[in-house]
Amino acid sequence: MTAPADALELSILLPVRNEGVNLRIMVKILRATVAVPYEVLVVHDTPDDDSIAVVRAMQADYPEARAVHNQLGRGVVNAIRAGVAVARGTCVLIFAADEVGPVLAIEDMLALMHDGCEFVSCTRYAHGGRRLGGSALGGALSRLANKLFHALVGSPFTDATTGIKMFRRDGFARLDLQSRPIGWAVAFEMAIKAQHAGLRLGEVPIISIDRLYGGESSFRLGPWVAEYSRWFVWGWRHRRAPGGRAARCVVRVPTSWR
């Protein structure tokens, strides 16, 4: 579905690194499931990424998809900055091209945005959400980190580390991203910064299926633990929004689950 720039409701931002196999499937799934005017921004770091050829080959039939060259520096954090800079949607959704779960959550995430939320995250660990696939070690560390962060820091999110986030494009600058380009640590920073900025928060449970179609994970234990720990400490030090308000989160369980 394509639409004039002033009619776009959603920009779907996919940071990629040689995700050509996944994109062939993901772009088609989005066409079949997204009911609002949208665009798909495939953000790549290098000009030889195999995702570029796939997007170009599909554009005749799927003009809503376009490749965006991130020239701000490698990594997801810079891909997000580059994608938001050219996005035309009122809302921006980010997630990894190898995940199917986020697609099924789009309707509920948008519903929360329509109800007044300014930043919506998904959860794999509460309200019926589940995580399937991916690194076993990465999954165990993710669950532990989120439980500790939720309990000790008072985060309203039950899964602050997931890379599935939706936010208003005109409010992106308020997040003031400073993450190092290490994996998806920036998603953790975004959740923490959204809470600290006093944004109206929402959460939608999903069943996350990681690496369903192939590809290689970029998970590296040492650098990831160091960067996530850095933002854990930052979140502890800034655990209340300005003015001392405790953050709250509106939960929307998908209608098909009720």
pLDDT at 152 over 50: yes
DSSP, residue by residue, 10-74: EEEEEEESS-HHHHHHHHHHHHHH--S-EEEEEEESSTT-HHHHHHHHHTTT-TTEEEEE--S-S
pLDDT at 44 over 70: yes
Task: Name which residue leads in pLDDT, 81 or 255.
Answer: 81
Q: Predicted confidence band at 141 (pLDDT cuts at 50, 70, 90)?
A: confident
Q: pLDDT: is 111 or 237 the higher one? A: 111
Total structural domains within the chain: 1
Q: What is the pLDDT of residue 206?
A: 95
**pTM (2 decimals)?**
0.90
pLDDT score recorded for residue 225: 85
Q: What's the confidence (pLDDT) of residue 172?
A: 97
Q: What residues make up the domain containing 14?
A: 5-257
When mean pLDDT is compared across 166-170, 198-202, 251-255, the lowest value belongs to 251-255
d(Cα 67, Cα 79) in Å, to the nearest integer? 11
At residue 132, the 3 state secondary structure works out as strand
Taking residue 173's Cβ as centre, other Cβ atoms within 10 Å add up to 9
Of residues 159 and 137, the one with the higher pLDDT is 159
Q: Under a CB-based contact definition with an 8 Å cutoff, are residues 139 and 184 in contact?
A: no
Residue type at 95 in one-letter notation: F
Three-state DSSP at 94 gives strand
Across all residues in the chain, what is the average pLDDT? 89
47 Cβ neighbours under 8 A, 6+ residues apart:
69
Burial tier of 35 (Cβ tally within 10 Å: 0-12, 13-18, 19+): exposed
3-state helix, strand, coil in the chain (%, to 5): 40, 20, 40
Question: Residue 92 maps to which CATH number?
Answer: 3.90.550.10
pLDDT given at position 23: 95
Kindly report which listed range (116-130, 150-164, 174-188, 205-219) carries the lowest average pLDDT score.
205-219
Among 25-39, 46-60, 212-226, the least confident range: 212-226
Instruction: Please report which confidence band the pLDDT of residue 154 belongs to, taking 50, 70 and 90 as the band edges.
Output: confident
pLDDT for residue 4 is more than 90: no
